[in-house]
């Protein structure tokens, strides 16, 4: 029977060594024994382009490379690491996937997304996302010097953190109407996503929504799917 693991929002940096070790242990003890693993965005806290960040996160890339020798690893970009590209795939052995991703697992169907696309009440964030995901803007950004890109990335991350302090919990959560609209396109599917960091299973009338939480230096979480879906606590 196929075993699938799903995680999201690790927000790895090259200085939080405890979290890197937690992820490495997860890969050795859990992920290596699965048939496939899906990472639904924000594996990295920032990604300033493959040419800059591959060397910054070389230890994490090596962990992923070792894992891909034993299991299939699929990575979806999040709002922090949406500049992951082909060089990352080559160096890590992972396969980048786009959202929404349809996962057929035995008799069950799951729709996989990062989750930020459903936070439609956060209008300022959605406007910024539209600008940052513009291919022309990305081309210009990746043409800048490495030093400039790192500086801009740091500034953007700082402003984002500050802005969140003044936003309500509701605004930063998924919008129910937007979620229902998405799921109406995929009848018979359940939804799995991250981004909001609010780990919970929500049972709706026509589907179930599983929300992955983020990881700390000492604890993480994952979804395991075999013939059923269950939660794993990683520590």
Whether residue 229 contacts residue 8, with contact meaning beta carbons closer than 8 Å, is answered with no
Rounded CA-CA distance 7/126 in Å is 24
Nearest to 111 by CA among 102, 120, 99: 102
Angle at 2 between CA 29 and CA 43, to 5 degrees: 50
pLDDT at 44 over 80: yes
Q: Give the count of alpha carbons within 13 A of 225, CB side only.
A: 18
Average pLDDT for 180-204: 97
The stretch 24-42 carries a mean pLDDT of 97
Q: Per-residue pLDDT tens for 119-170? A: 999 999 999 999 999 999 999 999 999 999 999 988 888 877 776 766 677 7
Say what the pLDDT of residue 1 is. Answer: 63
- The CATH number of 4-118+176-234, from 3.40.50.10300, 3.40.50.300, 3.60.21.10, 3.30.230.10, is 3.60.21.10
Confidence (pTM): 0.94
The count of other CB atoms within 10 Å of the CB of residue 128 is 16
Name the more confident of 111 and 161: 111
């Amino acid at each position: 029977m196929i075993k699938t693991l799903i995680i999201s929002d690790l927000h790895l940096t090259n200085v939080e060594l405890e979290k890197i070790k937690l992820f490495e242990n997860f890969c050795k003890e859990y992920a290596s024994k699965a048939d496939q693993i899906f990472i639904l965005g924000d594996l990295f806290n920032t990604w300033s382009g493959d040419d800059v960040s591959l060397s910054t996160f070389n230890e994490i890339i090596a962990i992923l490379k070792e894992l891909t020798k034993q299991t299939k690893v699929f990575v979806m970009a999040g709002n922090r690491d949406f500049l992951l590209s082909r060089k990352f795939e080559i160096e890590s052995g992972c396969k980048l996937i786009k959202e929404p991703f349809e996962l057929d697992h035995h008799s069950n169907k799951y729709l996989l997304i990062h989750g930020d696309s459903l936070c439609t009440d956060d209008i300022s964030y959605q406007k910024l996302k539209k600008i940052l995901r513009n291919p022309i803007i990305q081309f210009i950004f990746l043409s800048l010097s490495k030093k400039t890109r790192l500086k801009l990335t740091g500034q953007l991350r700082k402003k984002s953190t500050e802005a969140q302090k003044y936003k309500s919990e509701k605004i930063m959560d998924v919008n129910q109407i937007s979620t229902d609209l998405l799921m109406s396109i995929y009848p018979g599917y359940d939804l799995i996503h991250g981004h909001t960091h609010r780990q919970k299973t929500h049972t709706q009338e026509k589907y179930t929504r599983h929300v992955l939480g983020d990881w700390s230096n000492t604890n993480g979480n994952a979804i395991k799917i075999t013939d059923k879906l269950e939660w794993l606590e990683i520590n």
